[in-house]
Amino acid sequence: MTRHRPWPPHPHHPPPPHPLRVAAPAAATDSGAGKMARLSPGAAAPQVDTGKYVRYTPEQVEALERVYNECPKPSSLRRQQIIRDCPILCNIEPKQIKVWFQNRRCREKQRKESSRMQTVNRKLTAMNKLLMEENDRLQKQVSRLVYENVSAKSLKTKIHNASAATTDTSCESVVTSGQQQALAAPRPQRDANNPAGLLAIAEETLTAFMSKATGTAVEWVQMMGMKPGPDSIGIIAVSHNCIGVAARACGLVSLEPTKVAEILKDRPSWYRDCRCVDILHVFPTGNGGTIELIYMQTYAPTTLAAPRDFWTLRYTCGLEDGSLVICERSLTQSTGGPSGPNTPGFIRAEVLPSGYLIRPCEGGGSMIHIVDHVDLDAWSVPEVLRPLYESPKIVAQKMTIAALRHIRQIAHESSGEIPYGAGRQPAVLRTFSQRLSRGFNDAVSGFPDDGWSLLTSDGAEDITITVNSSPNKLVGSHISPSPLFSAIGGGILCAKASMLVQDVPPALLVRFLREHRSEWADPGVDAYSAASLRASPYAVPGLRAGGFMGNQVILPLAHTLEHEEFLEVLRLEGHGFSHDEVLLARDMYLLQLCSGVDENASGACAQLVFAPIDESFADDAPLLPSGFRVIPLDTKTDVPSATRTLDLASALEVGSGGALRGSGDSPGGCTRSVLTIAFQFSFENHLRESVAAMARQYVRAVMASVQRVAMAIAPSRLGSQIQLKHPPGSPEALTLASWIGRSYRAHTGEEIRWLDTEEADSPLKLLWNHSDAILCCSLKPAPMFTFGNNAALDMLETTLVNLQDISLEAILDDEGRKALCAEFSKVMQQGFAYLPGGVCKSSMGRQASYEQAVAWKVVGDDVAGAPHCLAFMFVNWTFL
């Protein structure tokens, strides 16, 4: 290897500066709090010298720090003003001040980055410890399974060898009888007045819980998609082959153990199915812990099943290593203990040893182990609904993961990094979410002690009508009552039903219902619900089969840390139907909660709940929630991903007959879900029967619309159930794609810039995957779209089915329509034209800008060269 010698310095050129020697006007070593003040207290102010370092006195540093706190990046004029306002800085040049602020910002950035890296390092250290413990537990589980396998083989051999011999089983029968008698004998009754007996139950519960949380008492199987990491929710596992159903979670949170315990004990704040928790007795223990006897009621998930209640003992104590434990189990005849209250209409379920292990982490924060193990008495429900009570994944989503997510959300909010929505703090917005969810649960369950009573039931459609004549009791004393209830006198009417939905993932169905409200909602009913917020509502409307609904605009308010739930305001632009219906012309507002739309969340319940609000949107405004809940009855690993089905064609696996198949589709794959619908309406006493008839008819219409939507968006039925003009994969679509590319080349003399040339043999795939929005519309007096690629469907926020109901005029603004009219003759004569950039509007009212648009005639195989349609390409579009 050739070694290069450095060139000698030129005698007339000065040597280059040393790379570590800053000769400077830059105050690279300045710091806050006077750390770099190098002068003695009696030294004079620094003299500006571009060849030396600038040193600042503590007084000067203090003055600069005050300015920095107000304005970290002052302008040139601001820096000059600083020198004029602070006489102590008069001997420092503005350039030096600029360098000081640059270094100060750099140090601040480095400090934040260092703090962030230390936090990540602590998380990784704690997660590494957690993974090592999990690895030890799994090794123990493997050893136990190997031992059980060897024992089973040995027992099988003994049984086989003894099968030929004749033995007297009288002794065996006696032993067996004795065992059965021992098992049947209940333990001595331990009542609430005997703390020693309850402490014995508590210690047994603690031992059983710890064996599940850190031991091998339950065979745990990790849920798919739950990967450990510094920013992940944690390690989630579900039970396999055990009594009841169980779920387990391990995770890290940046809250202290006592705060975590306080949050977990407040179960109604994070467990949405919890109706109430009553602590009936509290006993202190000698080790500083507490024993609580708790009665808890939960809502029914659907109208087809009864709600559950629990009678449990909860034990809170500290361990020698500083950990905090909260464990719980049901008190039954087998465990002993006092008997709990019995409420008519509830089915008693059992909590097997469960709880929370909270360990403090070095440097702050906590490591949490959560175990939820329940027996929900699945045999008491219809067979079709038993998967709701036998699925450990549903328990994991509703209880275990929900608790861990809520704690992480509180920790994130405590850091002050979450922006406020609509000028409200996160806690206020979270209260709105809880009120919406609770109000919907109250409507579905309809408990008599809340004032609900059955009005009638339509046996043919299974639509149940219930009324509540005590609405103020339902909404709570801390909520302002509606003007309708206080001024006129009336109540709340609820129409609800449940139905089975097949072949549609719950997340996909709820997303579609949210984004395409016009497919199922009636604007007249929405207007009636909005009018209930005013003191003088108008008459009960009749349903309109083809009523026109204005655009809907979604205004985000808040979302959880992992975006599994979000709160938003939905603005519905009103349009008058006639002169007598002026109220319909007013904009309507809905507070809407959407959750469970993550297609990767196995066993998650998807829900869309909304309630009308007025423009004031007060914190104590009354809410009357209605909506949909979709719960999976059986989960298949081969169900297609929900992200690819909203546009009905995003996978584009071209097959025969235009059928679409994703990479995960299975010929025999089937998804079943139970859909629960509940709509609430306020009514005046003299109009109750009219409102009931309207509500029954409306829910029946919504059920029919949902069935139609489910059939339309079902991934397994796209090829056979939906008739599209140009479904991707059909011969017509392939021909149209060829015509589009060929016509563009013939008119402009250029090729469309394809991003992926590997699929050049398929013009349809090239067209579909193009990043620019490409649309085709008919040549009619009112041009309607006939085809759009994937980017076009995203830009218009629609599907291939609904695209054919959108006109070209509806998406263009005034400037776009004027530009198209001016260039239309050029398009028809020369074959193409370039249109200036502008703004278009999606089907949901959102605005999207584009840099340029190209319009050209699409000519088919006709000899005469007659145009088949017009094509438009919106270049580099983006939502505003």
How confident is residue 297, by pLDDT bands cut at 50, 70 and 90? very high
Please list, in sequence order, all residues whose beta carbon lies within 8 angstroms of the beta carbon of residue 757, skipping any fewer than 6 positions away: none
The answer, yes or no, to whether residue 794 has pLDDT greater than 60, is yes
What angle, rounded to 10 degrees, do the helices at 523-531 and 688-713 form? 140
**Contact (Cβ atoms closer than 8 angstroms) between residue 291 and residue 419:** no
Dmax over CA atoms of the chain, in Å, equals 117
Tokens for 584?
Answer: 């319909």
Q: Give the Cβ contact number of residue 797 at 10 Å.
A: 19
Give the up-direction half-sphere exposure of residue 404: CA atoms within 13 A in the CB hemisphere. Answer: 28
User: Residue type for 812, please?
Assistant: L
Looking at residue 459, its pLDDT comes to 52
How confident is residue 722, by pLDDT bands cut at 50, 70 and 90? very low
Looking at residue 525, its pLDDT comes to 86
Looking at residue 112, its pLDDT comes to 82
> Partners of 878 in the beta sheet?
849
> Partners of 773 in the beta sheet?
874
The answer, yes or no, to whether residue 248 has pLDDT greater than 90, is yes
**Contact (Cβ atoms closer than 8 angstroms) between residue 244 and residue 352:** yes
Looking at residue 655, its pLDDT comes to 33
Looking at residue 501, its pLDDT comes to 87
Q: Residues 389-409: what's their mean pLDDT?
A: 92
Looking at residue 715, its pLDDT comes to 67
User: Residue type for 371, please?
Assistant: V
The number of helix segments (H) and strand segments (E) in the chain equals: 22, 26
Looking at residue 754, its pLDDT comes to 66
Identify the weakest region by mean pLDDT among 62-71, 91-100, 189-198.
189-198
Looking at residue 224, its pLDDT comes to 63
Local structure of 168: helix, strand or coil? coil
Q: What is the distance between the alpha carbons of residues 24 and 14, in angstroms, rounded to a whole number? A: 17
Q: What is the distance between the alpha carbons of residues 548 and 686, in angstroms, rounded to a whole number? A: 30
The answer, yes or no, to whether residue 667 has pLDDT greater than 70, is no
Local structure of 719: helix, strand or coil? helix
Identify the weakest region by mean pLDDT among 130-139, 334-343, 531-540, 747-756.
531-540
Closest by Cα among 103, 96, 105 to 72? 105
Looking at residue 264, its pLDDT comes to 95
DSSP alpha helix (H) spans, 353-476 = 386-390, 392-395, 401-414, 426-445, 471-475
CA end-to-end span of the chain: 58
Closest by Cα among 316, 270, 325, 267 to 296? 267
**Contact (Cβ atoms closer than 8 angstroms) between residue 772 and residue 753:** no
Looking at residue 617, its pLDDT comes to 80
Q: What is the distance between the alpha carbons of residues 143 and 138, in angstroms, rounded to a whole number? A: 9
Q: Cα separations (Å) of 688 from 119, 462, 493?
A: 60, 20, 8
Looking at residue 600, its pLDDT comes to 66
The answer, yes or no, to whether residue 509 has pLDDT greater than 50, is yes
The answer, yes or no, to whether residue 683 has pLDDT greater than 60, is yes
Identify the weakest region by mean pLDDT among 130-144, 360-374, 738-752, 768-782.
130-144
**Contact (Cβ atoms closer than 8 angstroms) between residue 224 and residue 393:** no
Identify the weakest region by mean pLDDT among 30-44, 47-61, 660-674, 720-734.
30-44
Local structure of 589: helix, strand or coil? strand
In angstroms, what is the C-alpha Rg of the chain? 35
Angle at CA of residue 598, ends 594 and 604, nearest 5° = 80
The answer, yes or no, to whether residue 413 has pLDDT greater than 60, is yes
**Contact (Cβ atoms closer than 8 angstroms) between residue 841 and residue 811:** yes
Please list, in sequence order, all residues whose beta carbon lies within 8 angstroms of the beta carbon of residue 123, skipping any fewer than 6 positions away: 230, 252, 365
pLDDT digits (tens, 9 = 90+) for 724-751: 334 455 677 788 888 888 889 888 888 8
**Contact (Cβ atoms closer than 8 angstroms) between residue 361 and residue 370:** no
Q: What is the distance between the alpha carbons of residues 798 and 337, in angstroms, rounded to a whole number? A: 59
- Residue whose token pair is 């890296």: 117
Closest by Cα among 15, 12, 124, 65 to 362? 124
Looking at residue 33, its pLDDT comes to 39
Q: What is the distance between the alpha carbons of residues 427 and 419, in angstroms, rounded to a whole number? A: 12
pLDDT digits (tens, 9 = 90+) for 222-239: 876 555 555 566 788 999
Local structure of 464: helix, strand or coil? strand
Looking at residue 228, its pLDDT comes to 53
Closest by Cα among 804, 806, 838, 845 to 820? 838
User: Residue type for 133, please?
Assistant: E
Q: Residues 91-120: what's their mean pLDDT?
A: 83
Of 52 and 396, the structure prediction assigns the larger pLDDT to 396
Q: What is the distance between the alpha carbons of residues 618 and 246, in angstroms, rounded to a whole number? A: 41
Looking at residue 257, its pLDDT comes to 93
Looking at residue 420, its pLDDT comes to 59
Of 42 and 855, the structure prediction assigns the larger pLDDT to 855
Q: Residues 690-703: what's their mean pLDDT?
A: 91
Q: How distant is the alpha carbon of residue 449 from its chain centre? A: 32
What angle, rounded to 10 degrees, do the helices at 506-515 and 688-713 form? 120
Please list, in sequence order, all residues whose beta carbon lies within 8 angstroms of the beta carbon of residue 523, skipping any fewer than 6 positions away: 544, 547, 548, 549, 550, 572, 574, 575, 584
Q: Provide the percentage of residues in the chain whose pLDDT is more than 90.
A: 26
Averaged confidence pLDDT in the chain = 76
DSSP alpha helix (H) spans, 71-169 = 76-85, 94-162
Looking at residue 135, its pLDDT comes to 76
Looking at residue 710, its pLDDT comes to 86
Of 567 and 480, the structure prediction assigns the larger pLDDT to 567
Q: How distant is the alpha carbon of residue 66 from its chain centre? A: 42
Tokens for 555?
Answer: 């205004």
Element containing residue 179 per DSSP (H, E) = helix 170-184
Identify the weakest region by mean pLDDT among 212-226, 427-441, 460-474, 851-865.
460-474
Looking at residue 363, its pLDDT comes to 76
Looking at residue 331, its pLDDT comes to 93
How confident is residue 46, by pLDDT bands cut at 50, 70 and 90? very low
The answer, yes or no, to whether residue 43 has pLDDT greater than 50, is no
**Contact (Cβ atoms closer than 8 angstroms) between residue 510 and residue 606:** yes
The answer, yes or no, to whether residue 702 has pLDDT greater than 50, is yes
Q: Give per-residue burial for 376-388: e unless 16+ CB within 10 Å, then b.
A: bebeebeeebbbb
Closest by Cα among 727, 839, 838, 844 to 797? 844
Looking at residue 761, its pLDDT comes to 62
Q: How distant is the alpha carbon of residue 662 from its chain centre? A: 24
Looking at residue 534, its pLDDT comes to 60
The answer, yes or no, to whether residue 630 has pLDDT greater than 90, is yes
Q: How distant is the alpha carbon of residue 106 from its chain centre? A: 37
**Contact (Cβ atoms closer than 8 angstroms) between residue 482 and residue 623:** no
pLDDT digits (tens, 9 = 90+) for 822-846: 888 888 888 899 999 999 988 777 7
Give the up-direction half-sphere exposure of residue 56: CA atoms within 13 A in the CB hemisphere. Answer: 29
At residue 350, φ and ψ (nearest 5 deg) are: -125, 135
Which 8-state DSSP code applies to residue 655? -
User: Residue type for 677, please?
Assistant: I
- Residue whose token pair is 């309207």: 694
Closest by Cα among 518, 538, 543, 517 to 528? 538
User: Residue type for 205, please?
Assistant: T
Q: What dihedral do alpha carbons 63, 68, 70, 76 form, nearest 10°? A: 100
Which 8-state DSSP code applies to residue 259? H
Looking at residue 542, its pLDDT comes to 52
Q: What is the distance between the alpha carbons of residues 563 and 412, in angstroms, rounded to a whole number? A: 13
How confident is residue 810, by pLDDT bands cut at 50, 70 and 90? confident
Looking at residue 473, its pLDDT comes to 53
pLDDT digits (tens, 9 = 90+) for 150-193: 777 677 777 766 665 544 444 444 334 444 444 444 454 555 45
Q: Give the Cβ contact number of residue 448 at 10 Å.
A: 11
pLDDT digits (tens, 9 = 90+) for 92-105: 888 888 888 888 88
Q: What is the distance between the alpha carbons of residues 713 and 664, in angstroms, rounded to a whole number? A: 16
Identify the weakest region by mean pLDDT among 341-345, 484-488, 786-790, 823-827.
484-488
pLDDT digits (tens, 9 = 90+) for 547-595: 445 577 888 888 888 888 889 998 887 655 444 444 445 678 899 999 9
> Partners of 854 in the beta sheet?
834, 873
Q: Give the Cβ contact number of residue 152 at 10 Å.
A: 10
Q: What is the distance between the alpha carbons of residues 638 and 381, in angstroms, rounded to a whole number? A: 27
**Contact (Cβ atoms closer than 8 angstroms) between residue 686 and residue 662:** no
Looking at residue 719, its pLDDT comes to 38
